[in-house]
Amino acid sequence: MEWIRGETIGYGTFSTVSLATPSNNDSGELPPLMAVKSADSYGATSLENEKSVLDKLGDDCNEIVRCFGEDRTVENGEEMHNLFLEYASRGSLESYLKKLGGEGLPESTVRRHTGSVLRGLRHIHANGFAHCDLKLGNILLFGDGAVKIADFGLAKRIEEVTALNEGVQIRGTPLYMAPESVNDNEYGSEGDVWALGCAVVEMFSGKTAWSLKEGSNFMSLLIRIGVGDELPMIPEELSEQGKDFLTKCFVKDPKKRWTAEMLLHHPFVAVDVDQDGLVDEEDFVVNLKTEKVSTSPRCPFEFPDWVSVSSSSRTIDSPEERVTSLVTDMIPDWSVTNSWVTVR
Ligand SMILES: Nc1ncnc2c1ncn2[C@@H]1O[C@H](COP(=O)(O)OP(=O)(O)OP(=O)(O)O)[C@@H](O)[C@H]1O
């Protein structure tokens, strides 16, 4: 495919994202404007993984960003790997919230976005993958108000997920890490649900789900997540349905945490949406049709088709020892970036 690179629209740990216009698109197979995610040899593995996962997930889920193919270019003497993606004209939810200057989104909008992300997660999990890096920076906002999950660079097959036994790994962003990831190196679909809960808190309140005190460090955050009973902040102003939804995401034991499929039946997201309001997010109307919404199941076992997935937890150190083992000189900018660190 012949194409022209346009302005840069985003930066990630592994890549730079810019606009791309196909220069010969007579067949009309491609959209007139795409996003191209480009990486040098350092980020190539992540892009290859992303392409392979997106191919396996297919094009039939509206809540997952579409991939139009890949190619390689030589730019300034360097080989670049390029991945062509559906262009989200309103950027990520993270950048959108930053523009609101610390304000969160109206609950009706949070409900709608949460339902969309859950449909995306259900598709990812049903196809045997875990995203492993769900956060507001990886949820993209489109011109029509739709949101889609992006950035599959760290996604993994679920059966591989618990096999991370070569040293201690921190994947994704520590603020979104689930207790079992901190304590036992487990990165599975359950961890995506925990991360979704953190994203919901942030969307609604404009603040991260873990309040970070001045002077607190990486280590103390991991201890709070992994050890003890503390849970992420549940905003006071959220409706009772919203609070209940978050308590289902923030279950420390991954085996008892609700799945994406179960959460899609929760009244917080089981709503009908007035499609006419889709263009203007602020005017977006969410109709709560309570007669259609069943009572929230009180525990995972009230879902007849729910099967407990036993996680093959390795018998390693106690949580305290495990968290202590995460101390490293390579401390990432964990509050804002996507850095990941391997400690061996
Ligand atoms: N399809 C897209 N349309 C519009 N903007 C995009 C698109 N894909 C990515 N971006 C922007 O570029 C940023 C970086 O993209 P992405 O997170 O996919 O890169 P990455 O290198 O995998 O980053 P990470 O550090 O999260 O692993 C996003 O936060 C978003 O602002």
Atom 5 in ligand 1: residue holding the nearest Cα? 91
The predicted model gives 51-58 an average pLDDT of 97
Select from 9, 40, 42 the residue to mutate for testing ligand 1; criterion: most ligand atoms less than 8 Å from CB. 9
Higher pLDDT, 115 or 216: 115
Report how far ligand 1's centroid is from the alpha carbon of 10 (Å). Answer: 6
Atom 4 in ligand 1: residue holding the nearest Cα? 88
ipTM of the complex in this document: 0.95
Given pLDDT bands bounded at 50, 70 and 90, which one contains residue 247? Answer: very high
Q: Strand, helix or coil at 290?
A: helix
- pLDDT for 163 equals 47
The predicted model gives 183-191 an average pLDDT of 92
Given pLDDT bands bounded at 50, 70 and 90, which one contains residue 320? Answer: low
Given pLDDT bands bounded at 50, 70 and 90, which one contains residue 162? Answer: low
The predicted model gives 325-344 an average pLDDT of 39
Cβ atoms 170, 343 nearer than 8 A: yes
Residue of 26, 133, 144, 192 marked active site:
133
Maximum mean pLDDT: which of 121-125, 282-286, 295-299: 121-125
- pLDDT of residue 274 exceeding 70: no
The predicted model gives 274-281 an average pLDDT of 39
What would the DSSP string read from start to end of 43-67?
HHHHHHHHHHHHHHH-S--TTB--E
The predicted model gives 164-188 an average pLDDT of 80
The predicted model gives 3-7 an average pLDDT of 95
Given pLDDT bands bounded at 50, 70 and 90, which one contains residue 149? Answer: very high
Report how far ligand 1's centroid is from the alpha carbon of 172 (Å). Answer: 13
Atom 23 in ligand 1: residue holding the nearest Cα? 12
Atom of ligand 1 nearest to the CA of 87: 3
Q: Rounded mean pLDDT of the chain?
A: 81
What would the DSSP string read from start to end of 204-218?
HHSS-SS---TT--H
- pLDDT of residue 331 exceeding 70: no
- Ligand 1 neighbours (beta carbon < 6 A): 9-15, 17, 35, 37, 65, 85-88, 91-92, 95, 137-138, 140, 150-151, 153, 338
Enumerate residues 6+ apart whose C-beta is below 8 A from 215: none
- pLDDT for 71 equals 94
Task: Name the percent of the chain lying above pLDDT 70.
Answer: 75
- pLDDT for 285 equals 33
The yes-or-no answer on residue 133 being catalytic is: yes
The predicted model gives 27-51 an average pLDDT of 92
Exposed, middle or buried, 303 (CB in 10 Å: 0-12/13-18/19+)? middle
- pLDDT for 215 equals 72
Higher pLDDT, 344 or 25: 25
Tell me how far the alpha carbon of residue 94 is from its chain's centroid. 11
Q: Comparing 52-66, 78-92, 262-276, 308-322, which segment has the lowest mean pLDDT?
A: 308-322
- pLDDT of residue 144 exceeding 80: yes
Report how far ligand 1's centroid is from the alpha carbon of 37 (Å). Answer: 7
Report how far ligand 1's centroid is from the alpha carbon of 17 (Å). Answer: 6
Element (H, E) at 272: strand 272-273
Q: Which among 14, 225, 243 is positioned nearest to 137, based on CA atoms?
A: 14
- pLDDT for 314 equals 36
- pLDDT of residue 231 exceeding 80: yes
The predicted model gives 125-130 an average pLDDT of 97
Query: Which pTM does this prediction carry?
Result: 0.81
Q: How far apart are CA 39 and CA 19, in angstroms?
A: 14
